[in-house]
Amino acid sequence: MFSKKISVAILAACSFGLTAGDASAHAISIGYENAGPNSVNIWLGTYSSGHAAPVNEGSLTLQGALATVYGPVTTAFNLLTGTGAAFKPAGLVDGTTNFYIPNISDPNAALVGTEAGFNAACPSCGPVDHWQGVNFTGLSAGDYQFTWVPIASPTAQWDIINNNMNGIFHLSQGVVTGTVPEPASMTLLALGLLGVGFSRLRKSL
């Protein structure tokens, strides 16, 4: 079960000469889903792949985030869906566990958009029609950072719009369930706990 909101550290940073009229194929979304106890699948989505058979390409790096110690471990993409919306992995929920670049004209835009928002910005581009993925197992409870690592010269179907797509998920009791609190939320949580402690101290006096 996934949380309804997750604080995602997703950045996009590269220079490119793409315009709204350039509808070939590009990786525009990245997300994750629970794959069983202590396991997660991370998926990269691309659009307009009809000109070529889907293939795996590139790798993904997973490492511990915040206070979690893990890796980094880099694994080549080895999962591949069929072509078409019907093959979208069930755990990818747009805006919750799956994220898009909201505007192809801004390579520095944070990947917080939905597919509908992306298609509105580039009507001739979408929709995403196949996904490649990586499975990680044996994970303990904690926070994990994932980062897409493209090959040096990607094919059209995995062409680079965002050279640094990444995010953070939280693994609790072996299942992806929690949110990663923002700094403000952490402060409020700490103040709340201090308040409870002070209240109990007063009652004990």
Q: Report pLDDT digits (tens) over 114-127.
A: 777 777 777 777 78
191 DSSP β-pair partners: none
What is the distance in angstroms between the CA of the first residue and the CA of the last residue of the chain? 43
CB contact set of 59 (below 8 Å; sequence gap of 6+): 74, 75, 76, 77, 134, 149
- Return the residue matching tokens 């390409």: 57
Q: What letter represents residue 126's amino acid? A: G
- Give the predicted TM-score (pTM) of the model: 0.73
The reported pLDDT for the residue numbered 22 is 39
Tokens for 53, please give them.
């058979």
CA 46, 167, 143, 152 torsion-angle sign: positive
pLDDT of 71 strictly over 50: yes
Spell 89-105 as b/e; 16+ CB within 10 A means b: bebbebbbbbbbbbbbe
pLDDT at 40 over 50: yes
Q: What is the dihedral of CA 129, 135, 140, 143, to 10 degrees?
A: -40
What are the pLDDT digits (tens) for 143-183? 999 999 999 888 888 887 776 678 888 988 767 754 433 33
Residue with tokens 């694994």: 75
On the 0-12 / 13-18 / 19+ scale of CB atoms within 10 A, 133 is buried
